[in-house]
Structures are given as structure tokens and as C-alpha cells.
């Protein structure tokens, strides 16, 4: 018996664009009406309504609801690791504040980082940590939060600092052999990991070089509102409130160590959270009792405050009101709006993928490709398109990787050309889309709206343009002998 088809008709290009146009209109209205508060629910509703429009069109084409629903559930399932990591990032941020780890980074960072080189140093530090751990998310949630606090104390705009953090973190993630996306891209195209990494250097190093130059120029040409005395006052406020000691750095070193030892992100983040809670109990007894409200039983106070830091709101006030906003977190509960956004985005992506609308759009693009430059430009545009519609960086690598694999081979291009393009345009642009898992997560973790840090995420903005420029210049574009490839194919058949 033949398996019944989900759809009686293939969607037209016009039909395929209707849900996307509808979504763009709603998202634009949300920004106008709600401003920075779009993550509170309006964007989630926009995604669900756009998914409903896509479903209605699918029904008119003869869709089977059960199969659409199953595909939505499957798509949500793919996002579950990201959701679990997001919850653990909330827990980690809570216990690292409770323990004094984040305040210690800010305190010592103010001693060694001068405002004029701070943004440059932020990119470099974020790059090195992300390269060592293979995780942009972990880097931003830990050292990134601390760097944001240092920049804030120096009087540097939070959006600019966030752009520097994101730029460095995604550079390191992209070039790290420990990164999941860096392993995924070559796996999708048929090249090996280290060939892929070496080949990415032709586009990634120039993009990072331009980024560093821009941040140096910003650093040396800007006027900062904070003076030396204000920085001293910030340090004094931190030292008065927290027990600041270099021993607190054991916690981030431990987390980096276990990630380098290839402990998976979810257990690594949980262990990092628990380590933060333990050091809070050891070093921050006054804060433990203040948060718990228990003064006569330290064991009870410790348990209550650590658990609360992991799941809910904690706020630690210092004598300096200008920095108090840095010392408050909402734990796992603070991530629920972002998780709601991710789930809504996965519903929309599931409808668009199962209906064949996304495939229709991308296949229409492939038909118009004529040259190597236009092929790579189309692939990059498709990756960005999937980041904006499917709202997940893994989908933006996997689906274009499958769809363009044959076209690259027919053009005589080696697989690393495709894998590099997937990373240059897929991995790094996910954080630029407010409703993508990357953009939504980092905006929540840093407390800076995606639309605010986008203009300063120079590495992420430059990377897709660099991969297209290199293609049109035909610089280091690796090619295979097409006749030999065809001969090998026939020999094996």
C-alpha cells in the first residue's frame, strides 16, 4: 500500500509568501506599539497567528491536520535541548550572582580594563572563552554578563558592549572544534571538521579583523561618562556588599574545564549552577541570610536562597544605586517568556516546513542561480531566511545544506565551500533575529534588546557579506574536477 500524501497540491510561490508577509506586518506593528516589550507576548501571538494563516492555506491545498500537527511536535522536539539549556542559563545566572562570581568579574575587571580598549578586549576575551568551550551561549551567559557589568560601570552604552560580546562569542563558537554547529555544517556537506575550520579562516579572520578595528576606533574616539572616582565608588560598593576574593574564579574555571573535557552542555550548565550555589554558601553568608530571610538556621537559609536563585527573583542592593540593576536575576522563571517565544517560533516553522512552503521558496531561488557567486549568495540568503522563518540556527544549517548540496556539486565546488557558507550566514545571523532562539536567548541573558545590539554586532553583520564578496572575487574558491567526479561515480555504480 502506498503512503498517502499530505498535500494534494504543491503551494505556489505567492501562497508560500503569504504567512511570511503576514508575520512581518504583525512583527512591525508590535515594535511600533509595544517597543522593547514585544517579548512579553505580542511577538509570540504574531508567530502563532502566522502559523494559523499557513495552516489555513495548507488546508486549501488538501492538507492532513494530523501530519501537520505531528511535524509541529517534531519541530518543537528539536528545540528542546535549547529550551533546557535556556532554563539552566537562568539558574546559572542566579547562583553566579548569589556566589559573587559576577560581581568579582566586574570588580577585578575595572582594575585592568581601560575604557579606551575595553570594547576591543571584550571581543578578544569573549572569543577566547567561546573558542575554548565551543559555546557562544555559555560564554555570553557567564563572562558576557560580567563584561556587560564592567562596561556599564565605565559608562559605556550597554548596546555597544553587548554587540562586542556577541561578536566575540560567535567568532569563537564558529571556529571551535567543540562547537555543535561547527561539527554540524561539515557533516551536512560531506567534508571533515578540520578542513572546514581551516577553510573558514579565509572569510572569518578578515571579518574579525574589521570588527576589532571598528571597536578600537569606537574606543579611542568616544567620551565616557564615568570618571576614575566613579569607578572607585563602584568597586567600593561591590566590596562592601559581597565578599570579593580570587577564590570565586574557581567556579568559571571549573565550568570551562568540564566543557573542554567534552561534558555535554546541559549537565555542564547544571554543574556550573550548583558550583555557584556552593560557593555562595561558603563565601556570601550575609547575602544568603538576606535573601532567605532566615537568620537562626544557616543550613535552611542556604538551601532556600540557592533554590530561589535557581528558579526565581533575587535582587541584591548595594550602596551605589547606579549599579543595582546589575545585581538582580529572575532565574529559570525569567526565561519563560523566551521559551514561549521559541515554542511559538517552532510552531510557525513546523507549519511552513510541513506544508512545503519553505521548500517552494528555496527551490525558486535555486532555479535562478547562474554563477558561483550567485549560488553562494543565494545559499547565504536562504540561511538567513530560515533563521527568520524557522527561528532556529540548526534548521538554517541543515535544510539549506540538504537543498544546495547537489547544486554545489554540479558547479564543481568542494563540500567545504558549502559548509563555510552555511556557517558564515547561518550560525552567526541567528543571534540577529529577535524571535530566533539565538536572538531571543541572548537578549534575555544580557538584558539588551536584539534590535538595540544589532548595529554593533559587527562580526555577525559582516560575515555573510564577506562570504559573498569572496565568492564574487573568486578568491580561494575550491573546485573539484567535475569530469573525474563523474567518472568516479560511474566506476562505483
Q: What is the pLDDT of residues 461-491, one digit of tens each?
A: 999 999 999 999 988 888 886 555 444 443 3
How confident is residue 309, by pLDDT bands cut at 50, 70 and 90? very high
Q: What is the pLDDT of residue 226?
A: 61
Which three cell numbers mark 46? 504574531
Higher pLDDT, 483 or 203: 203
How confident is residue 317, by pLDDT bands cut at 50, 70 and 90? confident
How confident is residue 6, by pLDDT bands cut at 50, 70 and 90? very low
pLDDT beyond 60 at 101: yes
The answer to whether the CB of 195 falls within 8 A of the CB of 186 is: yes
How confident is residue 225, by pLDDT bands cut at 50, 70 and 90? low
Q: In the chain, what percentage of residues exceed pLDDT 70?
A: 91
Q: Write down the mean pLDDT value for the chain.
A: 84
Phi/psi at 294 (nearest 5 deg)?
-105, 125
Q: What is the pLDDT of residue 322?
A: 67
Q: Cell 515554542, residue?
A: 343
Q: What is the pLDDT of residue 165?
A: 95
pLDDT beyond 70 at 257: yes
CB-CB neighbours of 250 under 10 Å: 13
Most confident of 130-144, 256-270, 349-363, 370-384: 370-384
Give the 3-state secondary structure of the chain: CCCCCCCCCCCCHHHHHHHHHHHHHHHHHHHHHHHHHHHHCHHHHHHHHHHHHHHHHHHHCCCCHHHHHHHHHHHHHHHHHHHHHHHHHHHHHHHHHHHCHHHHHHHHHHHHCCHHHHHHHHHHHHHHHHHHHCCHHHHHHHHHHHHHHHHHHHCCCHHHHHHHHHHHHHHHHHHCCCCHHHHHHHHHHCCCHHHHHHHHHHHHHHHHHHHHHHHHHHHHHCCCCCCHHHHHHHHHHHHHHCCCCHHHHHHHHHHHHHHHCCCCHHHHHHHHHHHHHHHHHHHCHHHHHHHHCCCCCHHHHHHHHHHHHHHCCEECCCCCHHHHHHCEECHHHHHHHHHHHHHHHHHHHHHHHHCCHHHHHHHHHHHCCCCHHHHHHHHHHHHHHHHHHCCCHHHHHHHHHHHHHHHHHHCCECHHHHHHHHHHHHHCCHHHCCCCHHHHHHHHHHCCCHHHHHHHCHHHHHHHHHHHHHHHCCCCCCECCHHHHHHHHHHHC
The whole-number average pLDDT for the span 189-201 is: 84
Q: What is the pLDDT of residue 399?
A: 72
The whole-number average pLDDT for the span 187-208 is: 86
The whole-number average pLDDT for the span 9-23 is: 87
Most confident of 28-32, 36-40, 67-71, 406-410: 67-71
Burial class (CB in 10 A: 0-12, 13-18, 19+), 134: buried
CB-CB neighbours of 189 under 10 Å: 25
Amino acid at each position: 500500500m502506498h503512503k498517502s500524501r499530505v498535500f494534494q497540491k504543491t503551494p505556489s510561490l505567492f501562497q508560500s509568501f503569504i504567512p511570511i508577509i503576514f508575520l512581518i506586518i504583525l512583527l512591525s506593528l508590535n515594535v511600533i506599539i509595544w517597543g522593547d516589550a514585544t517579548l512579553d507576548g505580542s511577538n509570540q501571538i504574531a508567530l502563532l497567528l502566522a502559523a494559523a494563516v499557513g495552516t489555513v492555506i495548507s488546508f486549501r491545498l488538501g492538507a492532513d491536520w494530523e501530519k501537520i500537527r505531528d511535524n509541529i511536535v517534531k519541530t518543537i522536539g528539536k528545540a528542546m535541548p535549547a529550551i533546557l539549556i535556556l532554563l539552566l542559563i537562568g539558574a546559572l545566572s542566579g547562583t553566579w550572582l548569589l556566589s559573587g562570581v559576577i560581581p568579582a568579574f566586574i570588580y577585578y575587571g575595572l582594575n585592568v580594563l581601560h575604557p579606551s580598549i575595553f570594547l576591543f578586549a571584550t571581543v578578544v576575551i569573549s572569543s577566547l572563552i567561546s573558542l575554548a568551550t565551543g559555546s557562544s551561549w555559555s560564554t555570553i551567559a557567564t563572562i558576557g554578563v560580567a563584561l556587560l557589568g564592567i562596561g556599564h560601570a565605565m559608562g559605556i552604552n550597554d548596546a555597544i558592549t553587548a554587540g562586542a560580546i556577541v561578536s566575540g562569542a560567535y567568532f569563537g563558537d564558529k571556529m571551535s572544534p567543540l562547537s555543535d554547529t561547527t561539527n554540524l555544517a561539515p557533516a551536512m556537506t560531506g567534508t571533515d571538521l578540520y578542513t572546514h575550520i581551516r577553510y573558514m579562516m579565509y572569510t572569518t579572520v578578515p571579518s574579525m579583523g574589521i570588527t576589532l578595528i571598528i571597536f578600537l576606533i569606537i574606543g579611542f574616539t568616544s567620551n565616557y561618562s564615568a570618571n576614575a572616582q566613579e569607578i572607585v565608588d563602584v568597586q567600593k560598593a561591590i566590596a562592601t556588599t559581597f565578599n570579593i576574593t580570587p577564590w570565586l574564579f574557581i567556579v568559571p574555571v571549573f565550568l570551562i574545564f568540564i566543557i573542554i573535557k567534552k561534558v555535554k552542555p546541559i549537565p555542564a550548565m547544571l554543574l556550573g549552577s550548583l558550583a555557584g550555589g556552593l560557593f555562595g554558601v561558603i563565601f556570601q553568608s550575609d547575602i544568603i541570610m538576606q535573601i532567605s530571610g532566615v537568620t537562626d538556621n544557616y543550613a535552611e537559609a542556604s538551601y532556600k536562597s540557592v533554590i530561589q536563585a535557581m528558579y526565581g527573583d533575587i535582587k541584591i542592593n548595594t550602596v551605589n544605586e547606579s549599579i543595582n540593576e546589575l545585581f538582580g536575576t529572575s532565574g529559570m522563571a525569567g526565561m519563560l517568556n523566551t521559551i514561549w517565544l521559541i515554542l511559538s517560533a517552532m510552531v510557525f516553522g513546523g507549519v511552513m516546513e510541513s506544508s512545503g512552503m519553505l521548500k517552494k521558496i528555496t527551490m525558486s531561488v535555486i532555479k535562478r542561480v547562474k554563477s558561483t557567486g550567485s549560488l553562494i549568495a543565494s545559499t547565504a540568503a536562504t540561511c538567513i531566511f530560515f533563521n527568520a522563518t524557522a527561528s532556529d540556527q540548526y534548521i538554517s544549517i541543515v535544510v539549506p545544506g540538504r537543498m544546495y548540496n547537489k547544486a554545489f556539486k554540479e558547479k564543481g565546488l568542494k563540500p567545504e565551500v558549502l559548509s563555510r557558507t552555511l556557517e558564515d550566514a547561518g550560525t552567526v545571523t541567528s543571534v540577529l533575529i529577535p524571535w530566533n532562539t539565538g536572538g531571543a536567548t541572548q537578549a534575555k541573558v544580557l538584558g539588551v534588546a536584539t534590535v538595540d545590539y544589532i548595529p554593533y554586532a559587527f562580526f555577525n553583520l559582516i560575515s555573510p557579506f564577506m562570504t559573498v564578496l569572496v565568492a564574487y572575487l573568486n578568491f580561494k574558491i575550491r573546485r573539484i574536477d567535475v569530469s573525474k567526479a563523474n567518472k568516479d561515480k560511474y566506476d562505483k555504480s
